[in-house]
Amino acid sequence: MTSRIPRDSRLRLVRPRPLAAAPRAVNQRRSRRPAPRPPEGTPAPAELARMARSGLAGAARVARWADAALGPGRAGATADGKATLSAGTARQAADDLGLSAAQVRAEWDTARLAGLIEVHGGNARPGWRLRAWDRDDSAVLRGWVALFDAWSLACPEPDGHEPAAVAEVVSAMPQVLSFLQLSAGPVPVAQLLDLLEQRVTELRTERCEVPYDPHLEPARPLTPAPDTGAGAPPHPAPSEAARSAPPAPLAPLLDWALGALASVGALTYGDGQATLTPLGSWAVWVKLEQICVAAQSPAGNIEQAAEDMLRGCAQLRPNAARAEYRAWLAARPVGSAITELLGAARGEDALLRGLAFEALRVVGAPAEPEVRAVLDEPALRPYALLWLAEHDGVDPEDAHEVLTREEATWLWVDTAAAVADHGESPMLVRHLESALQPTVPALLDEVRSVGHPRTVQVLVALAAAHPDPALAKAVRRAAFQVHTGGS
């Protein structure tokens, strides 16, 4: 007769896996879309990488100097903890490299934007791209694209312009660059200015900013305004000069934008014309292709909010999902995209929580401050710690070592909740293999103590799915104890 006493069933010890298991719990189909080819005449990737190395040679030189001169145990490179090179370090680099201090600072900023140098607080260290600079063409191209994306930071905007106008020009430049890419040749600046003005007008219209027309009679109020005093007008009218002031001209800002893009090697600018370089044309094509891929997806992920986009990506394989993340990110400002993703991660769906941090891995360094800011939120802390560890260069297979035992157990329950909601019963049973605890009783004890809000549901689902009757009974008992507050 088989004993019904719960046995101390041993769990098979395996290395905890990165939390990509939950998304793969859903039925997936491999995308059959062939890899797109760049436009005819685009240089080969090796030639593009050679161009990028040539354009970033000065930045790589300063980064290598910093790697040798500012290694572990030496003084920090930055002066204010905000990636600003200190005066002493700039002078030292200038003396060693035969450059001026201004040149060193410019190349330092370029290296930082391209990911050749990473600054954490007051300490600088070489980025992973610097290690692969001479042997990995894809790393070089990704570094150059990162610099291309940050063109508005490479050169400060001219003085005397409203920040809102600068932001409008930055938001409108993707359309200008797309027009340059489709033109495949020199384009007069006057034509680009006309396009820029049209796009800025569209942006203002989307915000319902109706320009004032001094020739139109102002609308009369439907109700009389209250009297505010003897002889005093109820509402002071704007001055005639303020009402008739034309909008600020965009030509100086277009000149700044084209000059900044030329400084990063995306285009050539002079004699009243602008032309994309091969690198610039390739980068614009890549971004347009990313957007087109998302627009052609069945769910139309590019137009969805973060939560709906992540749900649409749950049925994709990891590589296809990352392509969707890149396209979704390419279609919106990075700051607002990060905010949306973290908002989705705070929801009740554990699957979306894991997918949101996968999308943030695609974002990379720009997401670091926001990810660090959520370390105090219990539901996001384990995910944020893993993200930061991988961002700091820890192998994904070893990143779990940064978690405490309690954090790892909480994460195990959260991932089990994702599998229970979106996966199949056999996978929930296999999820036991990723637990840190060597025995089922030890696992149940620690699961009960972490206080995850989905603990009861996870244990009930696990008990229903497990084929071992004795183990299932022990899990059901643990679920009941958590539900009733017993021990």
Which pLDDT band holds residue 4 (cuts at 50, 70, 90)?
very low
Query: How much of the chain exceeds pLDDT 90, in percent?
Result: 22
Average pLDDT over residues 3-10: 40
The tokens of 307 are what? 């939560």
> Between residues 168 and 483, which one has the greater pLDDT?
168
SS (H, E, C) 332-344: CCHHHHHHHHHHH
CB 352 within 8 A of CB 307: yes
Average pLDDT over residues 334-359: 90
Q: Which helix (H) or strand (E) holds 123?
A: strand 123-126
Instruction: Please write the tens of the pLDDT for every residue from 444-472.
Output: 777 777 778 777 877 787 777 766 677 67
* DSSP-derived 3-state class of residue 63: helix
Show the CA angle centred on residue 83, arms to residues 77 and 84, nearest 5°.
75
Q: Find which of 24-38, 375-389, 431-445 is predicted with most confidence, using mean pLDDT.
A: 375-389
d(CA 340, CA 343): 5
Name residue, tokens 């990379």: 364
d(CA 55, CA 49): 10
d(CA 209, CA 114): 36
Q: What is the pLDDT of residue 357?
A: 94
Which pLDDT band holds residue 6 (cuts at 50, 70, 90)?
very low
Query: How much of the chain exceeds pLDDT 70, in percent?
Result: 74
Nearest to 415 by CA among 24, 7, 1, 5: 24
Show the CA angle centred on residue 289, arms to residues 356 and 391, nearest 5°.
35
Q: Residue 439 gets which letter from DSSP?
A: B
Q: Strands (DSSP E) along 47-171, which ranges?
A: 117-120, 123-126
Identity of residue 209: E
CB 194 within 8 A of CB 167: no
The tokens of 392 are what? 């700091």
CB 268 within 8 A of CB 275: yes
Instruction: Please write the tens of the pLDDT for every residue from 217-248.
Output: 444 443 344 343 434 344 444 444 434 444 56
